[in-house]
Structure 1
Amino acid sequence: MNVVGDGSARCATVRSSNTLIVGSQPNLNRTPTNGTGQIFVSNGGAIILEQDPANPTSSTIITAAGHNDVNGLENFEAEIVVTGENSEIVADFVSVGAPVNGATGQIQVLDGASLTAAITRDFGGGLRNTGSVQLGEGSELIVDGANSSVDTNRLVAGFGPNTRDQTSNPGNAATQVTVSNGGRITAGSDNQGALVGYGSRANMLVTGTGSQFVVTALPSDDTDPANLGDEGDLIVGLTTPLYVPATDSYQFIEGAGSLTVTDNATVTVADDVRIGDTDTYFRGIIEDFYPGISVPSSSGMVEVSNGGQLTATRVIVGENGTLGGDGGTINADVVLDGGTVAPGMSPGVLDIFGDFTILGGALDIEISGSLLGQYDILNISGDLFANNPFDINISFLDGFMPSEGDAFDFLNVTGETSSLTALFENSLIGFNIFGFSDEFSLGFDLADGRFSATAFSEPVNPSPVPVPASLPILIAGLSGLGILRRYRRKQSI
């Protein structure tokens, strides 16, 4: 389907209140067959799918590639391309791909074009903002070029099985979302604003000056608890429950999501960024009805590098979550809740403009040399609250061995650090050292908001009694205004 204009806005327009389907099997009762198709809108052309005034709960949908209720050996492929200034597609709900074998699709919004999928609907329990752009596993969304934009209530990048008997297709690649060269995606919702890796694998890249991903929070009068509490959130990696009626039980489909913000791009989130998560509402319901059941967390990774900026209220690094980057800035309070913070992700510097709260998890530091830029540094502009024990993992890379007295200031905190000092003084921080010679010791010093490691060449245990290399060897007392502790390496298993 081609809609081509003369360059002016909506000069060639297709209007309908019906569903537009491309690249899908038309009859679910027939033997599965291939389905392919393309929607191409350019040069001021437009497709406008409007809600039926006689049915205020109706929805207009563009479906490309696959159908949620079909299984088998289908090979659906479809593409939606909107390109050029004044070119646009407007609908309530835009979807490509489905969690069935071989069902994938692509959306491209290029060179100043726009795609809008937003609607406010009343389901009887109150008004909700329910428009969405949804990408099945293995599908792709590209927003490229200045003024190219996608505006929606909810972005779901990578959704896995969600109906009985469906399984994720391991042959599919991960879902990919790319915002580049000044493109923009805005997701504004009264519910979860954006999900990356919802019971499937998905990667999102926001790159280049002027490129933006924005998640906003919209008001709602809906009182259903399933629809409250996640307004304006970005979730990277989310587990989804799958009910199996035959056994009256649930299985859980873990997600794996990643977000990379780089080369001066920006991501702005009204509320929380949650990395590695579980659908907490359904977790509560399931655990109430099925005592003792274990609901796993998904994996998620957020990297902010090379002038990229991530702004949010909080960034919560959950179990199986990782936050890192080199040369990036995080404008948010960061909560380490069982996951990992890894500045550099290969030696480098990560700046957090906000408080840092540690509820558990690990800080990963890599060292490949003694010069700045050759070892990881985490800078915290606010306070550091360490409420529970946690680990600091030090890895020496590429065979590098420091010389006597080499010091590495890997954590700098501008504000309060008394709780961190208390953990350190009471040996409640676990130090795990990898790639370090048995002939050396490593001293850790915490003073004036600076956490540093210093290399020592003399033996740390003068006693002939053998001591496992994975255990602390000697507490050497005070060093300046801080506490100095020495450790040998922890061997990898």
Structure 2
Amino acid sequence: MSAGDRLCGGAANLRLVSAMRPGRPLSTWLLLSSTALTALALAAPAAAQQSWTGSLGSSWFAPGNWTSAVPTTADAVTIGGTPPADPVINGGSASASTVTVTGGRALGLSGGGSLAVSSTTTIGNGGGAGSVTVSGTGTSWDSTSSIDVGFGGAGSLTVRDGARLTTFEGSLTLGAQGVVTITGPGTTVDIGTRTVTLPPDWASAAGWLQPNEGTLVIANGAAVIADATYIGGAGSTWANATVTGRGTTLQNALNVYVGGNGNGNVGFGRLTIADGAVVTAYTGAVGTDTGSFGEMVVTGEGSRYESLRRTGFNGNFRVGFNGDGQVAVRNGGYIGAANIIDIATNSGSRGVLAVGGALGEAAQAPGTISAANGIFFGAGDATLLFNHTGTAYAFDQRIFGSGGQIRHQAGTTIYSGDGGSYNGAINVTGGRLIVNSTLGATGSTVTVGNGGTLGGSGTVASLAVQAGGTVSPGNSPGTLTVSGNYTQAAGAILVAEVVPGVTADRLVVNGTATIQPGAILQLVRAGGGAVSLDTVYTVLSATGGVTGTYVVTGDPELSTFYQLYASYGANGVTLVPAQSRGFGTAAATRNQAAVADAMQGLPASSAIRTAIGVQQTDAAARLAYDSLSGEIHASIRGAMLEETRFTRQAALDRVRVSLGGIGGGGTEAVAGNVPGIAFWSQGYGAWGRSAGDGNAATLSHDSGGLVVGADMPAFDGWRVGLLAGYGDAGFESGARAAKGSAETTTLGLYGGRQWGALGLRLGATQGWSEISTRRSPAFAGFAEGLTGKTNAQTTQVFGEMGWRIDLGAAAIEPFAGLARADVREDGFTERGGSAALTAERGNAGVNYGTLGLRAATGTQLGETTLGLAGMLGWRHAWGDVTPTADLRLAGSAPFIVGGTPIAKDAAVAEASLSASLTQALALGVSFNGQFADGAQSLGARANLTLRF
């Protein structure tokens, strides 16, 4: 052991040379001491024995309170027996040669008083208990020699409230029944002369603080200075020392030993540093001597133990030097060493250095360990224990040596120090050990047990993961390197966090990797990166080869359709994306299924197929299918069939009124047949919505246009005419982000005849339309804008019969109507992106049947004839009431989608007002509606008729 590692034993007590100063020969000091002692012997008065009687009260200075006189420096004082009062030094200066307090008696110093004792003091002995209290600012006790407390009897020493105690050449020593309490701001205890500067001058230090047994408390801002402190230095029972409270200090010129005193004595000591207290020394040891036991706990914010560096003392801290030592730092406490912290220094020793809870305790909040040159594992049984509750505890100490173990039991520890020279075992039995540097030399093995997790992006030695243990490389994500071999047992878990399209956790093994049957590869989806369907992720590689396969668990899904599958090679395990279910399995409607099937058939390189493949949920996939379906093209076909009613209704109204029928808004509402040629026009407007059927979405529409015509009598009672019209219609499917418009030009002919009460009206039209569409398919990861243009033709034939019944000034007419409408649409291809559709040429046809009742009345106001009419009916449609469109994507098979259906049954109603202003001019206006389940259309028409 070098001079810098000296263990300064407390049993020598070389008081004769305690006044030595460096630089003088020992013979000189011996001569001076001998001369001085001879002079003192010649000059000193004869020593007397003074015993306390307390006859006159409690004052020390009252002569009547002593057996003969007030004690002087030469007197041996005994305070015992059964006096009526205990002595008190309250102000004034007292002195004695020795002091013994026993027999249950107590000595008190206060009020600025002082006591000087030139030899030993005994508090509590075989004769009974004793106590001394020194209290108050300015109160002091100076002892040239030792103070012994609690040897053979209960002894108590209290220094408090700013008082001072000094032992110049002696120790403060506690026996099994001793209790020393030093407390309060300004309270100081100074033990020894601290003449030590260079070795071997440490032998001159005789001022030991020695709670060999018993209890020592330093608290509440008190300050203690000693040559050295030995807690449990020698004894058969435990010594307990507590240094607690912010501002409380224990400073040592040499060392602090807990459990043994460095001279081979066996002792049992426990030191607690708490609540902001500070203890310093130049070397420290817990479990110092063979057979000794020592415990130290540093707990609380601001609580510190430090081994400092000075000449001859290099600032080491030993946890189990020759004995058994256990040290724990927790709850924000701090342990520091200017050189190294040495665990289980010598063979046969045992040392445990714990962060958080000690061995066998529950986890606690961590503290800090800082050794300038690292933590060394010695020749004994050494353990560095992590048993804390921290969620991100940073530990950066150098770790070196061979033997022993690093044991991680609870909490999350992030290691970033230099552990490459450590050759012992590393056992992760609980919590998470994150290694971001190097931990473990070639001969070291990391074992991860049940409940433990090893992670990080650094390098570890050979790695064995037992059942229930977990390896999670990286720091979400990252690469963990194993410098030796890797073994993963059944039930052990390798976690691979996957950032889709970017990277995944990886375990790199510079040896062999053995995957035993039942070993688990747990996949975890990390991050929200864009999903890639062609990225391969390596999760395990081994230069010496990989044997075995995994049970894959966790979250292998990349999307609702794709997942990762483990693939095995000679030197690695990779994750390969593959489709796990067909696109059609997510579809919930006919249109969705049609689109899904078409997408499934696209090549893997298709951008739009990939866009579907990466959808994360079935709901998102269904949204994508609907967005891509192009159902607006089918819906517009149905809407074009519905648009034919405007020219049909205009022609029927005109024929009916011109032959004397009811309604329509003209002056003929109640008039008879009209002779001559008549020119007429009708403007219309309508708006409404058609309900979706769960497959196609709701379609909103608006229409406006003008129909003009001319008719005349012909063929013996018939009236025939021609018409022409122009209409503009708009359509929108908000749920599908699609809209369209149609501009239509129409030509037609119509005619009819009245046979008394029976009327017949007929007609046919042909329309030519230009249709434009705009779609904006958009879903997660995809958005395009598409346009399309096409042409369509609409053809219809229609007829109606009615029976007029006159009721005085009014008339009614039951009627029945029948119509057939067809639409034929040219094929076209949209423009704008990969979701552009090609529509095949298609057609649709619908039959309409209507039953209803009209009523009208009229009145004459001067030369103006007013007519009021109404209609109520039921319309039924059959045929292609659910229009369809044949579509396909570039590279896909054709598919059929259905559009918004035409209501099969609807109520129709109309109210009109007409005015015949002159024989040649008539005006009319009407309001109409069509109402079905979930659908309605409201419209208005205005009529103008000129007759010649």
TM-score bin (small chain): 0.5 to 0.7
Shift of 1:177: 1.1
Q: Distance in 2 between matches of 1:482 and 1:412?
A: 20
Matched, 1:340 2:388: no
* Matching residue of 1:88: 223
1:431 pairs with one of 476, 479, 487: 487
Using the TM superposition, give the Cα deviation of residue 267 of structure 1 relative to its aligned residue in structure 2, in angstroms: 1.6
What are the within-5 Å matches in structure 2 for residues 288-367 of structure 1? 297-303=380-386, 305-307=388-390, 309=393, 311-316=395-400, 318-325=402-409, 326-335=411-420, 337-343=422-428, 345-346=429-430, 348-367=431-450
- The reply on whether 1:396 has 2:516 as its aligned counterpart is no
1:376 aligns with 2:453: yes
CA, structure 1 residues 83+116, in 2 after alignment: closer, same or farther (shift >3 Å)?
closer
Partner of 1:186: 306
Q: Distance in 2 between matches of 1:457 and 1:384?
A: 26
Structure-2 residue corresponding to 1:40: 181
- Alignment partner of 1:114 is 2:248: yes
Query: TM-score if structure 1 supplies the norm length?
Result: 0.59
Residues 1:2 and 1:431: Cα distance change in structure 2 (over 3 Å): farther
Alignment of 1:439-450 (within 5 A): 448-449=506-507
Alignment of 1:226-265 (within 5 A): 232-239=339-346, 252-261=347-356, 262-265=364-367
1:15 counterpart = 2:169: no
Counterpart check, 1:78 vs 2:214: yes
Tell me what 1:403 maps to.
Answer: none
SS at match of 1:204: strand
SS in structure 1 at match of 2:398:
strand
Q: Could you say if the C-alpha distance between residues 133 and 473 of structure 1 is closer, same or farther in structure 2, counting changes exceeding 3 Å?
A: closer
SS at match of 2:466: strand
Alpha-carbon distance between aligned partners in 2 of 1:3 and 1:323, rounded to the nearest angstrom: 47
The alignment yields a C-alpha RMSD, in angstroms, of 4.1
- 2:264 is equivalent to residue 132 of structure 1: no
Superposed displacement of residue 212, structure 1: 1.5
1:158 aligns to what? 287
Query: Which letter does structure 2 place at the counterpart of 1:269?
Result: A
Conserved 8 A contact 2:488-2:516: no
1:331-374 Cα shifts (integer Å, max 9, x gaps) = 4112363322233x22x212234333422122111345xxxxxx
Match of 2:191 in 1: 49
Task: Map Cα deviations across residues 166-197 of structure 1 (whole Å, 9 max, x no partner).
Answer: xx26xxxx522111222221221343521112
Q: Which amino acid aligns with 1:359?
A: T
Measured after TM superposition, the shift of residue 482 of structure 1 is 5.2
| Contact 1:314/1:333, CA 8 A, preserved across alignment | yes
CA contact (8 A) 2:241 2:271 kept: yes
Task: Tell me, yes or no, if the aligned pair for 1:199 and 1:253 is still in contact at 8 Å.
Answer: yes
Q: Is the 8 A contact 2:274 2:298 kept in 1?
A: yes
Letter in 1 for 2:345: L
Question: How far apart are the structure 2 equivalents of 1:142 and 1:54?
Answer: 27
Deviation sequence 1:127-148 (CA, Å, 0-9, x none): xxx4334433531111111x31
In the TM superposition, 1:407-422 aligns within 5 A as 409-412=471-474, 420=483
- State the shift of 1:23 in Å: 2.5
Change (3 A) 1:367 1:317: farther
**Mapped contact 2:468–2:493 kept (Cα < 8 A):** no
Q: Between 352-361 and 176-185, report the one with greater CA deviation.
A: 352-361
Deviations 1:427-484 (Å, cap 9, x if unpaired)? xx26374xx48xxx999999845679978569xxxxxxxxxxxxx9956798479535
The one-character-per-residue Cα deviations of 1:248-289 (angstroms, maximum 9, x if unpaired) are xxxx532232322451422222111123x12xxxxxxxxxxx
Question: Alpha carbons of 1:393 and 1:60: their partners in 2 closer, same or farther (altered >3 Å)?
Answer: farther
Count of matched residue pairs: 347
Q: CA deviation at 1:89?
A: 0.7
Cα displacement (A) at 1:47: 0.5
1:62 maps to 2:208: yes
TM superposition shift of 1:92: 1.8
Q: Partners in 2 of 1:316 and 1:259 — Cα distance?
A: 17
Given residue 210 of structure 2, which amino acid in structure 1 is its aligned partner? A
Where 2:403 maps in the other structure, the secondary structure is coil
Instruction: Indicate conservation of the 8 Å contact 1:269/1:311, yes or no.
Output: no
Q: What residue identity is the alignment partner of 2:205?
A: S
Q: Note the C-alpha offset of 1:6.
A: 5.4
Query: Which protein has greater RCO, CA pairs closer than 8 Å, 6+ apart?
Result: 1
Structure 1 Cα separation of the partners of residues 229 and 472 of structure 2: 46
Q: Residue 110 of structure 1: CA displacement?
A: 1.3
Q: Helix, strand or coil for the counterpart of 1:238?
A: coil
Contact 2:437 2:459 in 1 (8 A): no
Deviation at 1:21?
3.4
What CA distance in whole angstroms lies between the structure 2 residues aligned with 1:205 and 1:442? 31
Q: 1:10 to 1:214 in 2, by over 3 A?
A: farther
Equivalent-residue separation in structure 2 for 1:311 and 1:43 (angstroms): 36
Q: Does the CA contact (< 8 Å) of 1:255 and 1:298 recur in 2?
A: yes
2: CA distance, partners of 1:336 / 1:323: 17
Shift of 1:80: 1.7
TM-superposed deviation, 1:10: 8.5
Deviation at 1:41, TM superposition (A): 0.7
Larger radius of gyration: 2
Of Structure 1 and Structure 2, the greater helix share is in 2
CA distance in 1, matches of 2:420, 2:573: 27
Q: Secondary structure at the match of 1:95?
A: strand
User: Which secondary structure does the structure 2 equivalent of 1:358 belong to?
Assistant: coil
* Residue 53 to residue 267, structure 1, CA distance change in 2 (3 Å): closer
Q: Tell me, in whole angstroms, the C-alpha distance in 2 between the residues paired with 1:7 and 1:410.
A: 64
TM score, norm. by length of structure 2: 0.33
